[in-house]
Amino acid sequence: MPQMRYREALRLALREEMQADENVFLMGEDIGVFQGAFKVTQGLLQEFGEKRVRDTPISENTIVGMGVGAAMTGLRPVVEIMTVNFSLLALDQIVNCAASIRYMFGAQVSVPMVIRMPQGAGHQLGPTHSHSFEALYLHVPGLLVAVPSTAADAHGLLKAAIRDDNPVIFIEHETLYGRRGEVPENAEPINFGEAVVRREGSDVTIIGISRMAETALKGAEQLAAEHAIESEVIDPRTLRPLDLDTILESVRKTNRAVIVEEGWPHGGVGANMAALIQEQAFDWLDAPVARVAGGDVPMPYSKPLEQAAFPHEEHVVSAALSTFRDL
């Protein structure tokens, strides 16, 4: 099974879908000549030409609006926003148009578009480039939300996103672009709404979102080595739809749950997921659901402060141990 970097897996998915369907095209800032801020679109302009790999002006609301219009006419645009923070400039088109048009038109018109955007801390890019906004888009009906954490999932979920007739918010963590992983040859799309168990265990369920799936795994290994606690680690892969069944099945086995996310704690993904677990698995819980989240601050530029503003494995370990204090 070939190994490739996360960014290469995304590029492979784009290439395969563009080869398979001439209605698929790319648009965004610096994706053509410059080959993408994170080099995901490297080589695609030369391969497919400027009609299908389109550099755009710096105007996020306009870029997304053009994508919405193109999708309504039967094309399948993949729009790249340079960072998730910049997508705030396009909220009108994303929320009021892309997410709502199919509903408003009584399903006579669909909006089959993908909006790709990197997010996350760790690169000292300050508060306007480094936040995690999964919860913002999770909140909006009509949008699908993907948060792949591995190269294989990035490849399979992007293929599924491009083929879907709904608008998809496709969130990629900046730190993951260089990560290597196995991607099966001729891999099929990965269905949205199917979580994966990254590590099996019987003592506590740890759910990691995006890059935090990696952090959750590291925390689980530390818990096993230092405390003889066997954690089950779940990577949801998509947040809308959410595979709640897999999460609940695990919680009913372990009787404890920890949710790890990089975003802010108030109104976050973890807050929503904790409420769902409490509502639907309350009788199986031996301790309150624990949450690990980023600091409730704008992302610092200073490296030590930035590192302190997002979760690490020691925070996962501490949260997991807190669910055993009743024993």
Q: Do 205 and 149 sit in the same domain of this protein?
A: no
Average the pLDDT over 97-126 and give the result. 95
Average the pLDDT over 96-107 and give the result. 95
pLDDT by residue (tens digit) across 30-87? 999 999 999 999 999 999 999 999 999 999 999 999 999 999 999 999 999 999 999 9
The domain of 247 spans 196-322
- Kindly state whether residue 20 falls inside one of the protein's structural domains: yes
pLDDT by residue (tens digit) across 261-296? 999 999 999 999 999 999 999 999 999 999 999 999
Q: Do 201 and 172 sit in the same domain of this protein?
A: no
Average the pLDDT over 105-119 and give the result. 96
What is the residue-averaged pLDDT of the chain? 96
Q: Do 49 and 160 sit in the same domain of this protein?
A: yes
pLDDT by residue (tens digit) across 299-326? 999 999 999 999 999 999 999 999 997 5
- Kindly state whether residue 188 falls inside one of the protein's structural domains: no
- Kindly state whether residue 283 falls inside one of the protein's structural domains: yes
Mark residue 15 as left, alpha or beta (left: phi above 0; alpha: psi -120 to 50; beta: remaining).
alpha
- Kindly state whether residue 191 falls inside one of the protein's structural domains: no
Q: Do 7 and 111 sit in the same domain of this protein?
A: yes
**Residues with active-site annotation:** 60, 129
CATH code assigned at 257: 3.40.50.920
Domain boundary among 127, 159, 182: 182
Question: What pTM does this model have?
Answer: 0.95
To the nearest whole percent, how much of the chain has pLDDT over 70? Answer: 99
Note whether 230 and 291 are within 8 A (CB): no
- Kindly state whether residue 190 falls inside one of the protein's structural domains: no
Q: Do 168 and 247 sit in the same domain of this protein?
A: no
Q: Do 167 and 207 sit in the same domain of this protein?
A: no
- Kindly state whether residue 275 falls inside one of the protein's structural domains: yes
3-state secondary structure the chain: CCEEEHHHHHHHHHHHHHHHCCCEEEEECCCCCCCCCCCCCCCHHHHHCCCCEEECCCCHHHHHHHHHHHHHCCCEEEEECCCHHHHHHHHHHHHHHHCCHHHHCCCCCCCCCEEEEEECCCCCCCCCCCCCCHHHHHCCCCCEEECCCCHHHHHHHHHHHHHCCCCEEEEEEHHHCCCEEECCCCCCCCCCCCCEEEECCCCEEEEECCCHHHHHHHHHHHHHHHHCCCEEEEECCEEECCCHHHHHHHHHHHCCEEEECCCCCCCCHHHHHHHHHHHHHHHHCCCCCEEECCCCCCCCCCHHHHHHCCCCHHHHHHHHHHCCCCC
Domain count across the chain: 2
pLDDT for the residue 327: 47
Q: Do 29 and 141 sit in the same domain of this protein?
A: yes
- Kindly state whether residue 272 falls inside one of the protein's structural domains: yes
Average the pLDDT over 133-158 and give the result. 97
